[in-house]
A and B are shown apart, each in its own frame.
Chain A
Amino acid sequence: MTEGLIPPGKYFMQGNVACVEAALIAGCRFFAGYPITPSSEILQWMSYRLPQVGGHFIQMEDEIASIMAVLGASNAGVKSMTATSGPGFSLMQEGIGFGMMTETPCVIVNVQRGGPSTGIPTLVGQGDVMQARWGSHGDYEAIVYAPNNVQEMFDLTIKAFNASEEYRQPVVLLADQVISHMYGSLTVPPHDEIKIVNRKLPCVPPNIPDFKPFDAKYEVPPMALAGMGYRVHVTGLTHDERGYPYYTHEVSTWCVKHLVSKVRNNAKKIWEVEHFMLEDADIVLISYGITSRSSYQAVKIARSEGIKAGMLRLITLWPFPDEIVKKVSEQAKVIVVPEINMGQIIHPVREVAECLVVGLSWAPGAVPTPDVILDTIRYVSR
């Protein structure tokens, strides 16, 4: 199994390449994608590496086809992934919704660039935070991770695959142009020390009468794959436990509640955050992705000036770690939310925070420097 995978050891590597190597370790053997800056290195490196490990790479005609091919491959039992950026992520939204409704595991890497529209293809943005949560129509619970270094491009790619397999749904790795293009140090642990989750398969034999592919007795139903003999019907329509389209309000209530509760009930297990100098902090930055790297420095300088600053870094953006944010807000005087957008994650922060919440909105195209964040810290500390 480990043949052809990156050997354990220390590396100096680009974020996008680390993401590919991690995906292969996680068991990804299918990639379908379409070229788009700044995610193309993932597509290119996959085209080189996947065939070496016996996997399948295909460059499709667009992002719509890419996500659909990924969902098709996953329904045949192969861990699958695609990578894209802003405009491509927009095109994938219908397919992501289909993946949510049909409970199909897969990973979508969205390397954020400046938006809206074509925006600034080669420069950084964090404008897709809400899209990653709400981009497809209807109700579902997104699982979204935001890496802030090359090591996390690796670690969180594996976690994204694990979560997608565990909860049977598409999971987004929400990177950004700087983290993806950055070269940094990477430690690949021994492969047998890396936790890999595989989807559960039905434990009953095929062709039993009344087999229910979406059996309500499971929080996450085992997945009957194409060709196993279960003769499943899988549809994007609202469906009952048999997978059959069914439109009573009772079935619709079950179907939608099932999709959201499998994530909501396990949110605490999915949450990952980093506490940085928070112990006595009364000015708290809530930060994620590339912006958090400036936030570390801003906190350190503020501390040297005698300001009790700290940072809560969100590694899991969605499901939103509301209880953790609430707790932090109870000891804080002010929360500052720097983002490379006009205010997105600040909204769920405000929803739960017990203190004043101040946004630091920063237009895409550049990372706010520590000075910029520091100015805001100084201002609110007065």
Chain B
Amino acid sequence: MPKEVLATKHPDDELIRTDRMPHIWCPGCGIGIVMKCYIKAIKKSGIPPERHVVVSGIGCSSRLSGYVNIDSYHTTHGRAIPFAIGMNLVKPELEITVIAGDGDLVTIGGNHFMHAIRRNHDINVILINNFIYGMTGGQYGATTPLGSKASSAPYGTIDNPLNIPLLVASLGAPFVARWTTFHVHQLTDAILKAMKINGFAFIEVLSPCPTQYGEDNNFPTGLDMMKYFKKTCVVNHEADLRTVDIDLKSGKPIVVGNFVHKEKPSYNDMERKLIEDAMRERKLHG
């Protein structure tokens, strides 16, 4: 007879709100994997958990903020980035990571997303792209591959999805990466890199949503999409970002990697200097 072993503790418990388990995510969902990678990165970052803050918006991915045992802010739909910016400006010593879904960050929140990158605020943004609105019941969004079936696109979508790494790089972000929930080590490493970047550090994580996307689009289980990631992903850090769009149909390679990794003055650097100058000027001239 095998002996029953009851685990009462997990090494990550310190960073998980265990009193909120079970979580809301479906079997096969990839968001928990992203949470695990984020927690690993927090531990490896050398920054005490008290200085880490997670900010999210609304949606399945944004529920992550409620399960991580650090200061966590679950804001309104699409508005996690401006909330994080306000917090970052007044307390730059905080290591603020925005984690939210594709519908939240680049669809309803697209304007804030774009301008935050342009201004280069010192925050980390992890976009969990599962190609669909999960929480509201499988409607299509700005990342849904062309021709996908969705609850609001019974005949298939007819609008072109965003190529997010291309968009982010074009706006000058100092760190741009894409990984999938299959690439847990690379993803953890990218989150760590993002935490060390001075400026807007961005990671797109492709993630399965078997319940709301997969079922109608030939990925009936989470494992099916994980296998697809395994089969079709190509690591290319030097990729031409104009070619990294995703169709999830033809077997076209999904390009992943740390595409941009550079130094650039952040908004915070510029603001610090502006404030120093203004204070000095006032003292000189009254």
Chain A residues with CB under 8 Å of chain B are 4, 29-30, 32, 51-56, 58, 60-62, 64-66, 68-78, 80, 94-95, 98, 206, 226-237, 244-245
Given the contacts A71-B86, A72-B86, A227-B91, A234 and B275 also touching, CB distance less than 8 Å: no
| B79–A65 CB distance below 8 A | yes
Given the contacts A68-B82, A227-B51, A227-B94, A233 and B87 also touching, CB distance less than 8 Å: no
| A70–B86 CB distance below 8 A | yes
Scan residues 32-78 of chain B and give those whose CB is less than 8 A from a CB of chain A: 49-51, 53, 55, 65-66, 69-76
| A68–B86 CB distance below 8 A | yes
| A65–B82 CB distance below 8 A | yes
Q: Which residues of B contact A60 (CB under 8 A)?
A: 82, 115
Q: Which residues of A contact B282 (CB under 8 A)?
A: 4, 52
Q: Which single residue of chain B is at the shortest CB-CB distance from A53?
A: B279
For A58, A68, A70, A229, the residue with the greatest tally of chain B CB atoms inside 10 Å of its CB is: A68
- CB-based A-B contact count at 8 angstroms: 139
Rounded to whole angstroms, the CA-CA distance of A161 and B70 in the bound complex is 29
| A233–B72 CB distance below 8 A | yes
In the complex, B228 has a CB within 8 A of chain A: no
Chain B residues with CB under 8 Å of chain A are 17, 19-20, 49-51, 53, 55, 65-66, 69-76, 79, 81-91, 93-94, 111-112, 114-115, 271, 274-275, 277-279, 281-282
Q: Which single residue of chain B is at the shortest CB-CB distance from A32?
A: B86
| A233–B94 CB distance below 8 A | no
Which of B112, B274, B277 is within 8 Å of A65, CB to CB?
Answer: B112
What is the predominant secondary structure among interface residues of chain B facing chain A?
A: helix
User: What are 11 A-B contacts defined by CB distance under 8 Å?
Assistant: A30-B89, A56-B271, A65-B81, A65-B82, A69-B89, A76-B86, A78-B90, A80-B86, A227-B50, A231-B69, A245-B66
The 10 closest A-B pairs by CB, nearest first: A72-B86, A69-B86, A51-B278, A65-B82, A73-B86, A235-B74, A72-B83, A68-B82, A72-B87, A61-B115
**Distance between A351 CB and nearest chain B CB, rounded to angstroms:** 32
| A236–B87 CB distance below 8 A | no
**Distance between B204 CB and nearest chain A CB, rounded to angstroms:** 21
Q: Which residues of A contact B70 (CB under 8 A)?
A: 231
**Distance between A381 CB and nearest chain B CB, rounded to angstroms:** 51
Which of A4, A55, A72, A226 is within 8 Å of B82, CB to CB?
Answer: A72
Rounded to whole angstroms, the CA-CA distance of A311 and B55 in the bound complex is 49
**Distance between B62 CB and nearest chain A CB, rounded to angstroms:** 10
**Distance between A182 CB and nearest chain B CB, rounded to angstroms:** 27
| A61–B111 CB distance below 8 A | yes
| A68–B76 CB distance below 8 A | yes
Q: Which residues of B contact A245 (CB under 8 A)?
A: 66, 74
| A77–B71 CB distance below 8 A | no
Which of B51, B65, B112 is within 8 Å of A233, CB to CB?
Answer: B65
Rounded to whole angstroms, the CA-CA distance of A245 and B94 in the bound complex is 25
Q: Which residues of B contact A237 (CB under 8 A)?
A: 74
Which of A52, A55, A76, A94 is within 8 Å of B91, CB to CB?
Answer: A76
Q: Which residues of A contact B89 (CB under 8 A)?
A: 30, 56, 58, 69, 73
Rounded to whole angstroms, the CA-CA distance of A171 and B258 in the bound complex is 45
Which of B51, B55, B76, B115 is within 8 Å of A98, CB to CB?
Answer: B76
| B87–A51 CB distance below 8 A | no
Q: Which residues of B contact A75 (CB under 8 A)?
A: 73, 83, 87
| A230–B71 CB distance below 8 A | yes
Rounded to whole angstroms, the CA-CA distance of A233 and B17 in the bound complex is 10
**Distance between B84 CB and nearest chain A CB, rounded to angstroms:** 6
Q: Which single residue of chain A is at the shortest CB-CB distance from B62?
A: A235
| A58–B275 CB distance below 8 A | no
Rounded to whole angstroms, the CA-CA distance of A54 and B115 in the bound complex is 24
**Distance between B282 CB and nearest chain A CB, rounded to angstroms:** 4
Rounded to whole angstroms, the CA-CA distance of A98 and B77 in the bound complex is 11
Which of B71, B90, B93 is within 8 Å of A29, CB to CB?
Answer: B90
Given the contacts A52-B278, A76-B91, A95 and B79 also touching, CB distance less than 8 Å: yes
**New A-B pairs, 8, CB < 8 Å, besides A52-B278, A226-B73, A231-B71:** A72-B73, A73-B87, A95-B76, A95-B79, A226-B53, A227-B91, A236-B74, A245-B74
**Distance between B3 CB and nearest chain A CB, rounded to angstroms:** 32
Q: Which residues of B contact A78 (CB under 8 A)?
A: 90-91
| A54–B279 CB distance below 8 A | yes
Which of B91, B112, B271 is within 8 Å of A77, CB to CB?
Answer: B91
Rounded to whole angstroms, the CA-CA distance of A279 and B209 in the bound complex is 71
Rounded to whole angstroms, the CA-CA distance of A232 and B274 in the bound complex is 32
Q: Which residues of B contact A61 (CB under 8 A)?
A: 111-112, 114-115
Rounded to whole angstroms, the CA-CA distance of A228 and B94 in the bound complex is 10
| A206–B50 CB distance below 8 A | yes
Q: Which single residue of chain A is at the shortest CB-CB distance from B281?
A: A52
